[in-house]
Structure 1
């Protein structure tokens, strides 16, 4: 038996030597006669990959503008985007499946809400990779000046008041988002809005740097677009009692917002020239050219962003909806009560967008990016996909009919898409076209 084993070993060695010698001869002859060896093929493949042409900055910008031009998206909350539990995973996959089977081709994901930044970079990168693989546009929603997370770390950034605030804490259940610091927030008379929210001073250079730094972090996660909300001064509560650490009270609020928007756009476009930037504005802002008291003016915001997303929710026009006759389009003047606005959701959306676009066309030209490529602000509205029992009881449009009417109104006014809002991550699939 031992001789047999020795014979096998010797025979195996001879086979290896013969095979190796044959391969060496073949490799040498291949190099001599000009044919390609296996190693050469592998090297050639590596070289071809490394020689893949790199797009110029202008090409990347144009490509991003084209991809973003017709986005139809839904909104996803931060917990659903980041939580790895079965419930969140199920809702997350439902939204992705909605994008795979209907006209939806984008998802807006919360990364910073009124209580502060809320995201897990590992989980979020994984989600973004999945969205990119499925050709779904990824938008990060960032709440700007309403932010409770820095009250202990940087109380000097916040609006305060002379006496104690009796409002509750809107973010009491999310105290884990607050950054620790040496200050005790309980000993500071912070100004709070009606909901108990905390506000940063928009004029503070440190606050602006904080917002820009956070946004750059989000860009580096791989998002296609950043969408900024609450780019404004507070609108409710005893605003007259607010003490600002940086704003002098004399500089117009719209000037402060214009300067901030310009600073933010320049900083982020320098960081990544092709990143798409959008801003959320109140629906009323679409109907009024001037500042409504919170620093938001169309011409200021429009010059700094690629898209404006008006929240043209028909149920939110609490003072009614009024627009003049549109002679150019042959459309009548509208004087809707609150109930009438909810009865005609398509007209509310359409006429709001026409009003805003006409103003922008007359006031805003083009803005220079970090390169010679120019851009012009586009409109992509927020639409409501949430249920109102009173609409059903009053025989007004509700459910799929209401959502579809808004979509049709938006598409008559702008070719650049729309976004559906539902804070529970549940959408009316029957209102969407199947694809």
Structure 2
């Protein structure tokens, strides 16, 4: 009887909603998505707090594009500038003519700018740079080539939003705090920041991207040394009895879980980039990353395991000079962690195709065909068949055997 009563209440609720919010309605309120008379979605999103209680579950979104998940994703990083410029042709040729099959394309880049212009009147319009003239058209080309598209969304490193809304950032002496690279971050404790970024991810999904890769899902590096000297709010975490480290881990993990839930109806996978060293500790003291907790809330985990970014943690004196050994050691460690999870994500690490001159006083270790292949080989020997290749300038080594 109780079960029948619940079913009856659910049917009545659906009927009432259909009366209150008829199909084709053009009325909008903050945070809601509606269909206009032509069947197109409209969203009233500001960078004011959104009332998430007004978000209703809806049908799975169909972008009109059709991509198949590759046998194993093997991709390269592409900036918005490259994606919207003449270099895109050569990058497409690289992927199309090799065993590569995917591109990670900036949709929200490191400064906080969108890399394309959203529709006129969008609250994100002034945060956008017109690098990519027509992102849907770009994805149509990738569809024809069978290249799997992944949207990179940089989350908490965001100088644009921090300067526009200092209340969402960290302040010092009344001004927005910046790190040694003159970069500002926004506050992971603020759920308004979560919503702001997830709405961008939804736009990327609507354009046709098959996966959303969130990067900089963390507090600023070294935050454990400055958390007491910066001014910021703890938001909904102000009453938490946990210490500062665990509170940061909780906020970062909660964001990832929130993003995945919000994107559930868009038919996209959710990925997170994470520091490689996060796998070597229970939880990072400053940046708020816990490898296992983040992994439990994503479809894909992408550890940044560039040999140049490691110290001698694995007993390798100069990791940049021994890419195979470094990646092999890391892969063994990561496999043990993922094996301990009930539902482990796909492992798809970022590997290195660039030089690290800051490590050397003399000649710099060059990264070319053998170094890139050494990393791929080490991953594959540990059962990790997916990977992404990073080069900030999008200049990738030629003649690499990407399917070792």
Task: Kindly indicate whether residue 110 of structure 2 is the aligned counterpart of residue 110 of structure 1.
Answer: no
Alpha-carbon contact 1:310-1:382 (below 8 Å) kept = yes
Q: How does 1:310-325 map to 2 (within 5 A)?
A: 310-317=303-310, 319-322=311-314
**C-alpha displacement at 1:393, in angstroms?**
6.7
Alpha-carbon contact 1:353-1:379 (below 8 Å) kept = no
Alpha-carbon contact 1:159-1:242 (below 8 Å) kept = yes
Structure 2: runs of 5+ lacking an equivalent = 1-58, 61-65, 118-132
SS of equivalent residue, structure 2 residue 399: helix
**C-alpha displacement at 1:69, in angstroms?**
5.6
Look up the match of 1:96. 92
Look up the match of 2:32. none
Select which of 204, 207, 220 maps to 1:234: 220
Q: CA RMSD in A?
A: 2.7
Look up the match of 1:14. none
| CA–CA separation in structure 1 for the residues paired with 2:233 and 2:328 | 41
Look up the match of 1:195. 181
| CA–CA separation in structure 2 for the residues paired with 1:396 and 1:156 | 44
Look up the match of 2:260. 265
| CA–CA separation in structure 2 for the residues paired with 1:78 and 1:401 | 29
Task: Kindly indicate whether residue 195 of structure 2 is the aligned counterpart of residue 209 of structure 1.
Answer: yes
Cα distance per residue 1:105-164 (max 9 Å; x no partner) = 001101112211332255211111100111101011111001012245422211112x2x
| CA–CA separation in structure 2 for the residues paired with 1:387 and 1:432 | 19
| CA–CA separation in structure 2 for the residues paired with 1:216 and 1:395 | 42
Look up the match of 1:358. 336
Query: How many residues matched?
Result: 317
| CA–CA separation in structure 2 for the residues paired with 1:259 and 1:356 | 22
| CA–CA separation in structure 1 for the residues paired with 2:247 and 2:210 | 33
Select which of 267, 270, 285 maps to 1:277: 270
Task: Kindly indicate whether residue 233 of structure 2 is the aligned counterpart of residue 245 of structure 1.
Answer: yes
| CA–CA separation in structure 1 for the residues paired with 2:278 and 2:403 | 33
**C-alpha displacement at 1:394, in angstroms?**
6.0
**C-alpha displacement at 1:205, in angstroms?**
1.6
Structure number with greater Rg is: 1
Cα distance per residue 1:300-340 (max 9 Å; x no partner) = 101111111111111111x3132xxxxxxxxxxxx111x2x
Cα distance per residue 1:59-96 (max 9 Å; x no partner) = xxxx98x81561100111111112xxxxx31x111110
| CA–CA separation in structure 1 for the residues paired with 2:199 and 2:322 | 42
| CA–CA separation in structure 2 for the residues paired with 1:155 and 1:384 | 35
CA 1:396 to 1:217, structure 2 compared with 1: closer, same or farther past 3 Å?
A: closer
Alpha-carbon contact 2:98-2:402 (below 8 Å) kept = yes
| CA–CA separation in structure 1 for the residues paired with 2:135 and 2:208 | 9
CA 1:207 to 1:388, structure 2 compared with 1: closer, same or farther past 3 Å?
A: closer
**C-alpha displacement at 1:293, in angstroms?**
2.4
CA 1:348 to 1:144, structure 2 compared with 1: closer, same or farther past 3 Å?
A: same
Alpha-carbon contact 1:283-1:310 (below 8 Å) kept = yes
| CA–CA separation in structure 2 for the residues paired with 1:193 and 1:135 | 40
**C-alpha displacement at 1:398, in angstroms?**
3.2
Alpha-carbon contact 2:108-2:114 (below 8 Å) kept = yes
Task: Kindly indicate whether residue 168 of structure 2 is the aligned counterpart of residue 141 of structure 1.
Answer: no
Cα distance per residue 1:247-289 (max 9 Å; x no partner) = 53746211111111111110111x31x3011111112113223
**C-alpha displacement at 1:391, in angstroms?**
7.9
Alpha-carbon contact 1:77-1:109 (below 8 Å) kept = yes
SS of equivalent residue, structure 1 residue 74: strand
Alpha-carbon contact 1:342-1:397 (below 8 Å) kept = no
Query: Greater RCO between the two (CA within 8 Å, min separation 6)?
Result: 1
**C-alpha displacement at 1:392, in angstroms?**
12
Q: How does 1:131-170 map to 2 (within 5 A)?
A: 131-161=142-172, 163=173
| CA–CA separation in structure 2 for the residues paired with 1:422 and 1:353 | 21
Look up the match of 1:421. 390
Structure 1: runs of 5+ lacking an equivalent = 1-55, 58-62, 83-87, 164-187, 323-334, 367-375
Q: How does 1:69-80 map to 2 (within 5 A)?
A: 70-80=72-82
| CA–CA separation in structure 1 for the residues paired with 2:356 and 2:339 | 35
Higher-helix-fraction structure: 1
- TM-score calculated relative to the size of structure 1: 0.67
CA 1:151 to 1:395, structure 2 compared with 1: closer, same or farther past 3 Å?
A: closer
